[in-house]
């Protein structure tokens, strides 16, 4: 019994050490001087949207692209008011609901919109633990200049534990499905 507990503790410690450079301290790109689009991966948390707005206000990006859950843009839904700035003619906020609502779906949606709107550069905003996987998946689909940055959203111990498990499983999925 003591050996099993010790082995489990060693496995958790090893996972923590191996995961730290990928989940806790991933390589974050420097913010470029300019990008065609600033893409907030879902869910569009306040921290991510505020960072995107600050970048647009500073002239770093032309358009904010928000990935929102399916149905959130329909009038009468709970989230409709939250996304009222979306898709107004002449506005700088474009909202989409990728299908599926996954990082892979978001990457494909960016590639499609980039082709349609002739975007050749993008800044992608996400949470720290998601930076490395987001970069991997977006690079598979989007051929333009890409910077993936972190919104510095706080996570408690439980949040980090969840992200280690979730991101590890999602990386495994990404490696067995290498297409865009």
Query: Mean pLDDT for each consecutive 10-residue tract of the chain (180 residues)?
Result: 47 53 81 97 93 96 92 64 74 92 96 97 97 97 97 92 92 92
pLDDT score recorded for residue 153 = 94
**35-65 residues labelled b (16+ CB within 10 A) or e (exposed):** bbbbbbbbebbebbbebbbebbeeebbebbb
Cβ(125)–Cβ(163) below 8 Å: no
pLDDT score recorded for residue 110 = 98
pTM of the model: 0.87
pLDDT score recorded for residue 11 = 43
Cβ(120)–Cβ(144) below 8 Å: yes
Output the six-digit token pair for 121: 């550069």
Separation of alpha carbons 150 and 154, rounded Å: 11
CA 86 to chain centre: 18
Q: What is the 8-class DSSP label of residue 152? A: -
Cβ(40)–Cβ(64) below 8 Å: yes
pLDDT score recorded for residue 8 = 39
Q: What share of the chain is helix, strand, coil (3-state, %, to 5)?
A: 50, 15, 35
pLDDT score recorded for residue 89 = 79
**Strand (E) or helix (H) holding 94:** strand 93-96
**Which CATH number applies to 2-176: 3.40.50, 2.30.30, 3.30.70, 1.10.10?**
3.40.50
């Amino acid at each position: 019994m003591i050996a099993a507990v010790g082995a489990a503790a060693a496995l958790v410690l090893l996972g923590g050490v191996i995961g730290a450079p990928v989940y806790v301290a991933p390589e974050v790109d420097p913010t470029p001087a300019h990008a065609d689009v600033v893409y907030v991966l879902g869910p569009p948390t306040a921290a991510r949207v505020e960072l995107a707005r600050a970048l647009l206000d500073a002239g770093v990006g032309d358009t904010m692209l928000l990935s929102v859950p399916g149905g959130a843009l329909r009038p009468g839904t709970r989230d409709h008011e939250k996304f009222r700035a979306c898709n107004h003619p002449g506005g700088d906020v474009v909202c989409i609901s990728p299908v599926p609502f996954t990082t892979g779906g978001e990457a494909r949606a960016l590639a499609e919109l980039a082709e349609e709107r002739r975007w050749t550069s993008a800044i992608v905003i996400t949470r720290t633990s998601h930076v490395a996987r987001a970069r991997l998946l977006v690079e598979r689909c989007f051929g333009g200049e890409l910077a993936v940055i972190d919104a510095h959203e706080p996570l408690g111990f439980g949040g980090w534990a969840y992200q280690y498990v979730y991101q590890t499983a999602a990386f495994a999925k990404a490696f067995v499905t290498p297409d865009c």
